Amino acid sequence: MIPKVYTDKRYGLNKEQISNNALSIILKLQNNGYKAFLVGGCIRDSIKGENPKDFDIVTNCEPEEIRGIFRNSRIIGKRFKLVHITFANEIVETTTFRSGTDASSESIEIDEDGKIVRDNQWGTQEEDAFRRDFTINALYYDPYSNEISDYTTGLKDLKEKKIKFIGDPETRIQEDPIRILRAIRFASKLKFQIDHKAHNPIKNSVLKLKHMPPARLYEEILKLFLSGHASESYRNLKAFGIMEVLFPFHGVDIDEYHEFLVKAFFDTDNRIKNNKPLNPGFLFATLMWPRVAHNSGLKERLDFQKFYRVVATTIKEQQQICAIPRRFISFIKDIWMNQVRFKNFGKKSIGFTQSLRFRAAYDFFLIRGAIEPELKTDINWWTEFRASNYDKKNRLLKEKRKEMRKN
């Protein structure tokens, strides 16, 4: 099949936007007689006027040969080998054209006797295009011939703002259900519509997500919520009934927590805009909060035993779906535990505002205000208190205690 070929200028693409390292790799591969293109997200994002996150290269050169051409390279991956070419400021992933329908990199084809019939099989550029997930992700750009090759309807769909599966959506979701989350992610990030033909296949398969490897789900959840489009991701995940699959709310009425999540994601997206760091622990503390708040009674009166029980079950249940790294767990628990301290006004309050974990707990407390109007007075008090100097803090505490004695 001959792809449609367009010139880059027409689509606002030009070499200037491309990393020099990536350009140099392509040139070297081409000079060695190979085909080499930029592919995937970087082309999609550049044409949309967004800054590409990284530059993926694809070639008909096989990993060992790539390794031979670039001294600064390293082969990674067991079954589907790919090459990382390392520079001072970036790593450029260089992959060989692949056939096969599953791009999830770990997949193999097994025959009736359970034997591997196909493994690490390289393919043609055409096969490589058709094994990709969405039309907008299957564009190839040669920065030296200035041509974009389109085997599907990628450029048209980019223009029409459509996320369209390559091939039959149901089959492609069956092959790799994670593609559901990828569809949602790109729709949210680019503000595109998911092709209507894919709506039912997605809705019918959301439960399959529960059986995906927890490490992969964790990575996808981070990309959905920590890339600057958390609010859109939430809206889309909710519309497709995926929130309750990824975060099993059980008996909890998630609608009661809608405004809480909306505020949390609004803040998250703002932090990205302002180049502030984001902690995955904070994200998961938010996502699991409806269950913890609802089941622990933390909001009324703290019963430590009950609280710890609820925390343990909630985290355990969540871990069965996605693998939250251990190092975030104590941070998450601290955020929740520290919510109690906003109800206490004593000498320890001063130390609390100076502790390492105060900021996260305080930000979380503010978000709770979105659905707990009764917190308003305390929120205002703590906001003034934390910004005050030692003497003023003491004065505020004295006043507060006097006021509490009166009531």
Give the nearest distance from C-beta 101 to ligand ATP in angstroms.
8
Which of Mg ion, ligand ATP, none does residue 104 bind (CB under 5 to 8 Å by kind)? ligand ATP
Sorted by sequence, the CB contacts under 8 Å of residue 161 that are 6+ apart come out as 190, 191, 192, 193
Contacts of ligand ATP in 161-220 (CB under 6 A): 176, 178-179
Q: Does 154 bind ligand ATP (CB under 6 A)?
A: no
Q: For residue 374, count other CB atoms closer than 10 A to its CB.
A: 8
Closest among 380, 233, 345, 370 to 289, alpha carbons compared: 370
Query: Each residue of 83-97: b (16+ CB within 10 Å) or e?
Result: bbbeeeeebbbbbbb
What span, in angstroms and rounded, lies between the C-alpha atoms of 231 and 335?
22
CA angle 153, 238, 218 (to 5 degrees): 80
Which of ligand ATP, Mg ion, none lies near 398, with the C-beta cut-off 5 to 8 A by kind? none
Beta bridge partners of 148: 6, 141
Closer residue to ligand ATP (CB): 94 or 339: 94
Report, in Å, the least distance between residue 136 CB and ligand ATP. 8
**Token couple for 209:** 């997500």
**Active-site choice (8, 45, 128, 133):** 133
Interface pick for Mg ion out of 3, 41, 169, 281 (rule CB under 5 A): 41
Q: What is the C-alpha to C-alpha distance for residues 251 and 259, in angstroms, rounded to an integer?
A: 18
Residue nearest to ligand ATP (CB): 41
133 vs 334, beta carbon nearer ligand ATP = 133
Amino acid at 253: D
- The option from Mg ion, ligand ATP, none interacting with 132 (CB < 5 to 8 A, set by class) reads ligand ATP
- Say whether residue 132 binds ligand ATP (CB under 6 A): yes
Find the binding residues for ligand ATP in span 219-238 (CB under 6 A).
none
Give the one entry of Mg ion, ligand ATP, none that residue 133 binds, where binding means its C-beta sits below a cut-off of 5 to 8 angstroms depending on kind: ligand ATP
Q: Quote the tokens at residue 303.
A: 């019963």
Active site residue 8: no
Give 346's Cβ-side CA count (13 Å radius). Answer: 5
Candidates 53-61, 234-242, 318-326, 328-336: pick the segment binding ligand ATP (CB under 6 A): 53-61
Binding mask 11-50 for ligand ATP (x = CB under 6 A): -----------------------------xx---------
Residue 109 structure tokens: 């084809």
β-sheet bridge partners, residue 57: 38, 94
Given 56, 157, 195, 267, the catalytic residue: 56
Q: Which is nearer to ligand ATP, 178 or 252 (CB)?
A: 178
Binding to Mg ion (CB under 5 A): which residues in 179-218? Answer: none
- Is 81:120 a contact under the CB 8 Å cutoff? yes
Taking phi first (over 0 means left), then psi (-120 to 50 degrees means alpha), and beta for anything else, what does residue 304 get? alpha
Tell me which residue of 223, 140, 228 sits closest to 178, measured CA to CA. Answer: 223
Give yes or no for residue 128 binding ligand ATP (CB under 6 A): no
User: Residue 363 CB: number of other CB atoms within 10 A?
Assistant: 15
Q: Pick between residue 81 and residue 132 the one whose CB is nearest to ligand ATP.
A: 132
Residue count at the site for ligand ATP (CB under 6 A)? 14
Total residues contacting Mg ion (rule CB under 5 A)? Answer: 1
> What number of other Cβ atoms are within 10 A of residue 405's Cβ?
7
**Interface with Mg ion by CB under 5 A: which range of 19-27, 33-41, 193-201, 307-315?**
33-41
Of the pair 40, 63, the CB lying nearest ligand ATP is at 40
> How many C-beta atoms surround the C-beta of residue 53 within 10 A?
11
Whether 157 is a known active-site residue: answer no
> Closer to ligand ATP at the Cβ: 134 or 382?
134
Phi, psi of 145 (to 5 degrees): -95, -5
Specify the residue, 213 or 351, whose C-beta has the smaller distance to ligand ATP: 213
Contact positions toward Mg ion, by CB under 5 A? 41
- Please identify every residue annotated as catalytic: 54, 56, 133
Contact positions toward ligand ATP, by CB under 6 A? 40-41, 53-54, 56, 103-104, 132-133, 137-138, 176, 178-179
